[in-house]
Chain A
């Protein structure tokens, strides 16, 4: 990808909301959650996690933008977009572990978190590396900006 800082943030918010939202909607009922977890509680937790990825991700985007300045091409290779799943996932998991994400009730099992996070991430990443160019033909030429 060839993002600008503004484009990074816009793309993150919109794709997490739409693609991430759809994936979250679809997979939450089948996540390995503790017995007795109601579906509404499950959705509340997964959507709060999704929102946390979006909000904390804005801070990450500033950091990525800074790293990108060390690249001559000022590009963001496809691989970077994929592998940043690890650092972002780790931070969210740590925040969950230390109960620092407001609104989450109880404990989110690690397995459920990993499945949720990875599937959302991969879906958003795949979408950004292909079909998104069909949805908005200007997106790729304007650094990922949507408005």
Chain B
């Protein structure tokens, strides 16, 4: 397997440098186009439900495809993969996306947040987005393909005597590339920016796509679909307020960055002179950035000083949301971090916690989310050794605190005024660079398609403010005749299933969606015989 990006997997340099800029700009108050222009008329913009005649009057061409998946990232991919395996031909599915390949955004985000292809992502061995069965697992594949038999021992003794096995990013992408070819992804992919989904009189939906200028005769094209699947990913990234204020005031996007932006220049600067880097946040991205700084320090003999500020500082094992430590609700923690193998306790993806959450409603569900989630990172032996060394030698400093103010100091460094619970009075910390690893997410209404849905479709919000989905991942309130809108991924966090924004979570959603579509007669239910025969096709790389 190649560890360097392939032609298909390479990152297009024209892709904007931040996730924010990948999103369409906020919609200006839009005036309608004249009828017959091939664009959205006033009537279309203001109507919750459209007739076929309304589109005809607007001059927007309509294509009929029974199922449209919006997004085209890994969420779309996993769902479409399930449906293809459930017997749906490529002609009955359209994937509307501005991505060239499903892992494009994912690869961009992992790469800038310090997980290039040879590094390992935080995901389980049996969470394979390119294989709905999770068999063979990544560890088994790695053992056989690369002769790394130690990986089998690794999954045998994890997590007690080894860190959780995690696959290399490059292996994940290579597998996705193979599977996307097998299921005929490119035959289903239609490039463009989705503008909106509206209900159709008589059932089903219209999805409006804005293809690249000049590709089609009209500015917009419409897809008439009975089923719509939404997998648009994270609505966007939010920054810590004080960091955003500083960036805006000083127009400095160079010394104060988000970990999800390109920030290689900081690591390069560290190689030319001793610098101080301040990290904010205690999650997996903070760990990754920290590892890069510590690796570089070790490999190149650098003098980088790291100050790590945690808003919530965890210093020992804790029971989230409880006054005292409970043996049956005890999460590891220390030196600022809450430790957990994956972003939720493992059993949310199939065991006890999944079963429990499926039954909870409203406030009770929101409370359980708070207990299980929150910012956390895995406890990994190498990271522990590096951090211990850093603390011992004094170049890695950790502290609890929030930043009240930021300014440029006399020496040109950025001074953060930190208020800490551990010390009275403000503490001033100077740093050459600040990396925001908090990974705050924007509200779903900041995504244009979701905002339109909230305004026009009748969809509501769940107890945590995201899209309200049923256990089948149907968007509540959006039924249109026999038509259904499904959603999977980060936008549905807070529903009956917690681990939505993960590989395995996308597969759990895809299975529920495929089973619901089978009940509605759209595809076949994947029973034992189909599962086995399709698995052999997967193994032999034959079309489903």
Is A103 an interface residue when CB atoms closer than 8 A count as contact?
Answer: no
- A74, B531: Cβ atoms under 8 Å? no
Min C-beta distance of A63 to chain B, whole Å: 15
A78 / chain B contacts, CB cutoff of 8 Å: 155-156, 158
- B157, A143: Cβ atoms under 8 Å? no
Min C-beta distance of B124 to chain A, whole Å: 10
- A134, B532: Cβ atoms under 8 Å? yes
- B347, A79: Cβ atoms under 8 Å? no
Q: CA–CA, A143 to B330, complex, Å?
A: 22
- A74, B346: Cβ atoms under 8 Å? yes
Known contacts A72-B332, A72-B340, A134 near B535 by CB under 8 Å: yes
Interface string of A54-88 (1 = CB under 8 A from B): 00000000000000111011111111001000000
- A141, B511: Cβ atoms under 8 Å? yes
Is B134 an interface residue when CB atoms closer than 8 A count as contact?
Answer: yes
Min C-beta distance of B536 to chain A, whole Å: 9
- A135, B347: Cβ atoms under 8 Å? no
Considering the complex, give the chain A residue whose CB is closest to the CB of B529.
A135
Known contacts A73-B340, A133-B126, A137-B526, A142 near B350 by CB under 8 Å: yes
Is A106 an interface residue when CB atoms closer than 8 A count as contact?
Answer: no
Q: CA–CA, A24 to B346, complex, Å?
A: 34
Is B145 an interface residue when CB atoms closer than 8 A count as contact?
Answer: no
| Those of A1-31 within 8 Å (CB) of chain B | 1-4, 7
Is B136 an interface residue when CB atoms closer than 8 A count as contact?
Answer: yes
Q: CA–CA, A2 to B342, complex, Å?
A: 14
- A138, B158: Cβ atoms under 8 Å? no
Interface string of B125-166 (1 = CB under 8 A from A): 010000011111100100000000000000111111000000
Task: Count how many pairs of residues, one from A and one from B, have CB atoms less than 8 Å apart in the complex.
Answer: 94
- B140, A75: Cβ atoms under 8 Å? no
The A contact surface, by secondary structure, is loop
Is A38 an interface residue when CB atoms closer than 8 A count as contact?
Answer: no
- A131, B328: Cβ atoms under 8 Å? no
Is B120 an interface residue when CB atoms closer than 8 A count as contact?
Answer: no
Is A140 an interface residue when CB atoms closer than 8 A count as contact?
Answer: yes
Min C-beta distance of A71 to chain B, whole Å: 9
B160 / chain A contacts, CB cutoff of 8 Å: 77, 79
Known contacts A4-B355, A70-B328, A130-B135, A77 near B159 by CB under 8 Å: yes
Considering the complex, give the chain B residue whose CB is closest to the CB of A66.
B328
A74 / chain B contacts, CB cutoff of 8 Å: 345-347, 351-353
Considering the complex, give the chain A residue whose CB is closest to the CB of B82.
A137
Known contacts A2-B347, A135-B531, A77 near B133 by CB under 8 Å: no
Is A136 an interface residue when CB atoms closer than 8 A count as contact?
Answer: yes
Min C-beta distance of B128 to chain A, whole Å: 10
Min C-beta distance of A136 to chain B, whole Å: 6
Is B524 an interface residue when CB atoms closer than 8 A count as contact?
Answer: no
Q: CA–CA, A43 to B230, complex, Å?
A: 56
- A135, B532: Cβ atoms under 8 Å? yes
- A79, B156: Cβ atoms under 8 Å? yes
Is B95 an interface residue when CB atoms closer than 8 A count as contact?
Answer: no
- A140, B350: Cβ atoms under 8 Å? yes
Q: CA–CA, A134 to B508, complex, Å?
A: 15
Q: CA–CA, A137 to B527, complex, Å?
A: 8
- B133, A137: Cβ atoms under 8 Å? yes
Q: CA–CA, A62 to B40, complex, Å?
A: 61
- B341, A134: Cβ atoms under 8 Å? no
- A77, B134: Cβ atoms under 8 Å? no
| Those of A91-147 within 8 Å (CB) of chain B | 130-131, 133-138, 140-143
Interface string of B431-450 (1 = CB under 8 A from A): 00000000000000000000
Q: List 22 A-B contacts (CB under 8 A).
A: A1-B351, A2-B354, A69-B328, A70-B330, A72-B329, A72-B331, A72-B340, A73-B340, A74-B347, A75-B345, A77-B158, A77-B160, A134-B133, A134-B135, A135-B532, A136-B528, A141-B354, A141-B508, A142-B350, A142-B355, A143-B351, A143-B354
Instruction: Give the top 10 A-B pairs by smallest Cβ distance, nearest first.
Output: A2-B351, A74-B347, A2-B350, A73-B346, A75-B346, A73-B345, A74-B352, A69-B328, A133-B135, A2-B347
